[in-house]
A and B are shown apart, each in its own frame.
Chain A
Amino acid sequence: MFESSQNVMLKPTESWRETLLDSRVMELFFTVHRKIREDTDMAQDSLQCLAQLASLHGPVFPDEGSQVDYLAHFIEGLLNTINGIEIEDSEAVGISSIISNLITVFPRNILTAIPNELFSSFVNCLAHLTCSFGRSAALEEVLDKDDMVYMEAYDKLLESWLTLVQDDKHFHKGFFTQHAVQVFNSYIQCHLAAPDGTRNLTANGVASREEEEISELQEDDRDQFCDQLASVGMLGRIAAEHCIPLLTSLLEDRVTRLHGQLQRHQQQLLASPASGSIDNKVLDDLYEDIHWLILVTGYLLANDTQGETPLIPPEVMEYSIKHSAEVDINTTLQILGSPGEKASSIPGYNRTDSVIRLLSAILRVSEVESRAIRANLTHLLSPQMGKDIVWFLKRWAKTYLLVDEKLYDQISLPFSTAFGADTEGSQWIVGYLLEKVISNLAVWSSEQDLANDTVQLLVTLVERRERANLVIQCENWWNLAKQFARRSPPLHYLSSSVQRTLMKALVLGGFAHMDTETKQQYWTEVLQPLQQRFLNVINQENFQQICQEEEVKQEITATLEALCGIAEATQIDNVAILFNFLMDFLNNCIGLMEVYKNTPETVNLIIEVFVEVAHKQICYLGEAKAMNLYEACLTLLQVYSKNNLGRQRIDVTAEEDQYQDLLLIMELLTNLLSKEFIDFSDTDEVFRGHEPGQATNRSVSAADVVLYGVNLVLPLMSQDLLKFPSLCNQYYKLITFICEIFPEKIPQLPEDLFKSLMYSLELGMSSMSSEVCQLCLEAVTPLAEQCAKAQETDSTLFLATRHFLKMVFDMLVLQKHNTEMTTAAGEAFYTLVCLHQAEYSELVETLLSTQQDPVIYQRLADAFNKLTASSTPPTLDRKQKMAFLKSLEEFMANVGGLLCVK
C-alpha cells in the first residue's frame, strides 16, 4: 500500500494520548532495546519503534508543555541507552534515524525548552556520534564494503546538523561553534592522507592503496557527496574563525609540496628521460588531499544555486567584516595577485583577509598546474584536480566576482576592494580566469569532463552582463572567438557538447556593453563566418554531389552544432536577434534534410537544432514569430515523413539511439506544446521595433503542427519501442500534453490513431512505471471532462472513458500503488465517476457482493457511502471535486489496505 514510505512520521489521533504520553510506555521500548540489542534483526525492529516514537507529533499533544516533557523524557532515555555502550554496526542507522526524527519533527522552541544541561548533553552526544560514525564510514570505504551502514548513518547525522543549525535564532550566537569545529575537523581528518589525516588507513593503521579502474559512470565526489559537503560547508561557516584559516594552511602546505614534487619529477626526467615508471604515490596523495580541500572550500564559501541569485553566505561576510580593521588591503591584494609566489614569502602575509587568502590558495594550486603544463608535465597532472579547480572557480565567480553591493546590508571592504565593480582586482581576476579557460581548452581537450567544467566557467563569466563587460575587454577573448570561428586546432578537438557550450558563451559575450562599431566587429568575427561558410558550402552548384564528402559533412555538422549552441544562449533580451539569425538557417536546414536523408546522424542533428530553438525560444515568441517557427517545424515534419514512410531499418543493433530521430521529433512536439504552459511573450514585445506592423493572419497553429506530428509519430511507435525508457517517457509526456491542451481534438483523430492512443493510455496505466502511470492519469482527466462537455454518450471517447473508470477504480481500491499517485488518480477517478455514475454504482455493488465477511462488507459499504456523501450527485464543480479528494484520502486511510492485502 505505502510503497514509498519507509519513514512515516507518527501522527496519531487524540485517542492515543493516554497511551503514548505515558512515560512507562516509552521506557518499555528503551528497556526492550537494551535487552535485545545484540540480536541484529530484533535490534533493528526495536530501533524502528523508537524512531517512530521520536517522530511523534500532532493532536496527541494537548499543549507545548506536554511536548517538552515528552521530548525531555525521550532524550533522557536515549542518552541512557547509548552513553557508555559500544554501538553495534546494526544499530548505527537506527540510532541516527531516531536523532534525525527528533530534530526534524520537534520545533526549535520545544527543543530549547528542555533543561539546558540535558540539551547540551544531547548536542554533545550528537557531535560525538557524528565524528565516530564518520570514522567508521571511512573504514567501510577502505574495506570497500557493500553495505555501508555507517555511511548511511553519517549522512543522516550530518543532515540533522544542517537542520539544527540553519534555524539559529533560537540559540545564542556561538552555541554550536565548538561542535562544528569538532565535526569539521573530523571530516577533514578522514579525508586527508597521513600524517595529517587517516585516509585509506585500516583500523590498525595500515595504509591501503589500490588503483582501480573507474568508469565514466562513477559519479564525481562533488555530486556523490553533495549532501555531506553541504553540511560540512555549513558547519565550516559557523566555525569560520577556525575553519577558514585551517583550510588555507592545509592548502598552502599542499601547494608547496606539490610544486616541490613536480620539480623533482622534472629533474628526474631531465636527468634520465628514459627512466620508465615513476612512483606516483606521493603525487596521488597530494592530488587527493587537494581534491577534498577544494571541495570543502567550495561548499564553505558558496552555496549551490539554481535559478536564484547566489549570495555570499552571511557568516563568511561577517567573518571578513569582523576582521577588516586588522587587515592590510594592499597586502591582501598582493597575495591575491601573485599566485606564482608562496603566500608566506609576501611581507605582512598574516595581516590579510582570510577569505581572500583562502581563494588565493586555490589560485596557487591553479598556478602550479599551469606551470606544470608549460613545463610539459601535463602527463603527471591530475585531470580530477583540474576539474576541481575550475569547478571551484566557477562557484566562486558566480557568488563573489563583481559582488553586487545592493544585495547586502553590509559589505566587507576587502571584498569590495578586491572584486567589486570597477576595480583593478576584478579586471585582473577576469583576465586570469579567462587565461585558465583558454589554456585548459587547449591542453585538456581529451578530458571531456574537465573541458566541460572549464567551458561552464566561461559561461559563468559571460552570462551576467557586468562580468561580460570585463571579459570582452580582454584581448584573449577576441582571440578565442576568432580561433573558434576558424575551426582550427586545438578548439576543434573538443567534443561536440563542449564546442556547443563554447559557442553559447561566445554568443552571450556578444551582448556585453560595447560601442556600436565594436559590436559590429564582434558579430563579424563570431556569427558572420558561420553563416558565410555555411552558405558557401550549400550554395555550391555541385553540392548534391559533394555533400557526402568528409570535409563538407564536417562543415555542415560543425555549423549545426554551433546553431544548437547559439539557441542555448537565448535570454529574454537577445531572443529577437538570435531568433532572426536562426530562422534563416532553419529554412536552409530543411533543404539539408532532403540532401542528407540517408545520413541519420546528420538528420538527427538537424532535428536537434529545431528542438533547441523551440526549447529555448518558443516561450518568448509572439504570435507572428511563433507562427514562423510552427511553419518551419511543419515543413520539417513533412520532409521527415516523406523520407521515412515505409523505410525499413537494418537491424544490426536494436538499440535505443537507433530511434534517436523519433525521440527528437517527440521532443520537438513537446517543446512546441510547452508554449501553452509557459509563455513570456507579450505579442512580439521583444521584437517591437525590429519588424513593425506585421500583419498576423494565423495560418498555422501549434495544434496543427503537433497533431500532424502525432499522426506521424504514432504509427512509428510500437510496444517494443516503449521498452526503451527514454522513448517511453517522452512518448507519454507528449500524449499527456496533447490530451491536456487539445482534448477537443482527440475525438476527431482518425480511427486507427484514436485507438492506438487509447491503447497507449491503457498500457501506460497498467504496465509502465509509476511516472508514466501518473502521466496517463493526468491525461484521462481532461478527456473525461471533454466528454462531459460534449454530452455525446455514444462517442468512442465516451466508451473509452468508461473502460478507464474500471481501471482507475481497480487501481485505487484493489491494487498496490504509489501513494504519490493518489491525487492524480483521485482527480481522474472523480471526473470519470461524474461521467459514468451508473457504472460506478455497479462497480461498487459488484465489489460489495463478493465480500463474504459481514464486518468487512459493512466497513466497505460505509466507506463508499462516506466517499460520495459530500458530492451527490457528482458534478464537475471544483468545490465538490476538492471535497471528494479529501474524502478519498480518508477512504484510502480507512479501507485502502483492506482489499489489497492478500
Chain B
Amino acid sequence: MADELDFTTADAGASFTYPMQCSALRKNGFVVLKGRPCKIVEMSTSKTGKHGHAKVHLVGIDIFTGKKYEDICPSTHNMDVPNIKRNDYQLIGIQDGYLSLLTESGEVREDLKLPEGDLGKEIEGKFNANEDVQISVISAMNEECAVAIKPCK
C-alpha cells in the first residue's frame, strides 16, 4: 500500500529492484527497507498463536550508511530486492576527500567519496605508503560507495 503511493520508487525503482516473496529472502541477502537498500542481517519468523500464519521479521543494515532498519510483514508478501553490483578499481589518488579510481577499461572515476571511519583511514594510510591497492565498490539503487580494500595482484 505504501509502495503504491511512493511514486519515486515506483518509477525509477523499476530497473533497480525486483520483487520477491518475503519467505524466499535469506539472511545476508538484500532487501529494500523503508526505501533503502539493505543487507539482511537478521531474519526471523514468528506467528500469533500456534495456528497462526508466519510473519517475517527483517532487520537490515543500509549498505551505504550502515543505518539499521526493521520491518515485519506476512511471509506471503512481496518485498523489493535491490539490484546490487560490485566492482574493483585500482586506487590511483585521493583528492579533497574523493577517490581517484582506474576502471578496467582504463577510464578514471573521481566521483566516489573516501569513506569515513576505519576503512577510510586504512585507504589513506595504504595510499600514503605507496601501496598498490584495489577498492571494492558496491552500487545499488543509483548510489555507489567504497566498501573494501585489498592489495593489487
Which residues of A pack against B, CB within 8 Å?
Answer: 211-217, 283-284, 287-288, 291, 379, 382-385, 445-448, 492-496, 548-550, 598-601, 642, 646-653, 655, 657, 660
Given A446-B23, A494-B24, do A646 and B150 touch, yes or no (CB 8 Å)?
A: yes
B49, A212: Cβ atoms closer than 8 Å: yes
A448, B45: Cβ atoms closer than 8 Å: yes
Query: Is B8 part of the binding interface, using a Cβ–Cβ cutoff of 8 Å?
Result: no
Given A211-B49, A447-B23, A651-B118, do A598 and B88 touch, yes or no (CB 8 Å)?
A: yes
The answer, among B47, B66, B119, for a CB contact under 8 Å with A214, is B47
A599, B86: Cβ atoms closer than 8 Å: yes
A215, B74: Cβ atoms closer than 8 Å: no
Query: Is B41 part of the binding interface, using a Cβ–Cβ cutoff of 8 Å?
Result: yes
Query: Is B9 part of the binding interface, using a Cβ–Cβ cutoff of 8 Å?
Result: no
Q: Nearest chain A CB to B67's CB is how many angstroms away?
A: 10
Which residues of B pack against A, CB within 8 Å?
Answer: 18, 21-24, 26-29, 41, 44-54, 61, 66, 74-76, 81, 83-88, 118-119, 122, 136, 147-151, 153
Q: Nearest chain B CB to A871's CB is how many angstroms away?
A: 54
A652, B24: Cβ atoms closer than 8 Å: no
Contact partners of B61 in chain A: CB under 8 A: 652-653
Q: Which 7 A-B pairs have the closest CB atoms?
A: A382-B51, A446-B75, A446-B23, A598-B86, A446-B76, A211-B49, A287-B51
Can you sample 21 A-B contacts with CB below 8 Å? A287-B50, A287-B51, A288-B50, A288-B51, A291-B50, A383-B47, A383-B51, A384-B50, A446-B75, A447-B54, A447-B75, A448-B54, A493-B23, A493-B24, A494-B24, A598-B86, A646-B150, A647-B150, A648-B119, A650-B119, A652-B66
A648, B148: Cβ atoms closer than 8 Å: yes
Contact partners of B21 in chain A: CB under 8 A: 445-446, 493
A495, B47: Cβ atoms closer than 8 Å: no
Contact partners of A653 in chain B: CB under 8 A: 41, 61
Interface hub of A283, A446, A447 (most chain B Cβ within 10 A)? A446
Given A550-B83, A599-B86, do A213 and B118 touch, yes or no (CB 8 Å)?
A: no
When chains A and B are docked, how far (Å) is the Cα of A215 from the Cα of B49? 10
A214, B46: Cβ atoms closer than 8 Å: yes
Name the residue of chain B whose CB is nearest to the CB of A492. B24
When chains A and B are docked, how far (Å) is the Cα of A550 from the Cα of B48? 35
Name the residue of chain B whose CB is nearest to the CB of A545. B104
A215, B24: Cβ atoms closer than 8 Å: no
Contact partners of A657 in chain B: CB under 8 A: 27-28
B46, A496: Cβ atoms closer than 8 Å: no
Q: Nearest chain A CB to B150's CB is how many angstroms away?
A: 5
A214, B136: Cβ atoms closer than 8 Å: no
When chains A and B are docked, how far (Å) is the Cα of A284 from the Cα of B23? 24
When chains A and B are docked, how far (Å) is the Cα of A215 from the Cα of B149? 39
Name the residue of chain A whose CB is nearest to the CB of B122. A648
B28, A601: Cβ atoms closer than 8 Å: yes
When chains A and B are docked, how far (Å) is the Cα of A216 from the Cα of B23? 13
A495, B23: Cβ atoms closer than 8 Å: yes
B85, A548: Cβ atoms closer than 8 Å: yes
Contact partners of A495 in chain B: CB under 8 A: 23-24, 26
Contact partners of B18 in chain A: CB under 8 A: 550
Q: Nearest chain A CB to B70's CB is how many angstroms away?
A: 14
A379, B53: Cβ atoms closer than 8 Å: yes
When chains A and B are docked, how far (Å) is the Cα of A216 from the Cα of B55? 10
A215, B46: Cβ atoms closer than 8 Å: yes
B29, A601: Cβ atoms closer than 8 Å: yes
When chains A and B are docked, how far (Å) is the Cα of A446 from the Cα of B45? 11
A648, B24: Cβ atoms closer than 8 Å: no
Name the residue of chain A whose CB is nearest to the CB of B115. A650
Q: Nearest chain A CB to B57's CB is how many angstroms away?
A: 9
Q: Nearest chain A CB to B47's CB is how many angstroms away?
A: 5
When chains A and B are docked, how far (Å) is the Cα of A599 from the Cα of B49? 39
B47, A446: Cβ atoms closer than 8 Å: no
Given A288-B51, A447-B23, 15 more A-B residue pairs with CB atoms under 8 Å apart are A214-B46, A214-B52, A215-B44, A216-B45, A291-B51, A383-B47, A384-B51, A446-B23, A446-B53, A493-B21, A548-B85, A650-B147, A650-B148, A652-B66, A653-B41
Q: Nearest chain B CB to A451's CB is how many angstroms away?
A: 8
When chains A and B are docked, how far (Å) is the Cα of A216 from the Cα of B42? 13
Q: Nearest chain B CB to A644's CB is how many angstroms away?
A: 9
B148, A447: Cβ atoms closer than 8 Å: no
Q: Nearest chain A CB to B26's CB is how many angstroms away?
A: 6
Name the residue of chain B whose CB is nearest to the CB of A448. B23
B148, A655: Cβ atoms closer than 8 Å: no
Name the residue of chain A whose CB is nearest to the CB of B50. A384
Q: Nearest chain B CB to A1's CB is how many angstroms away?
A: 41
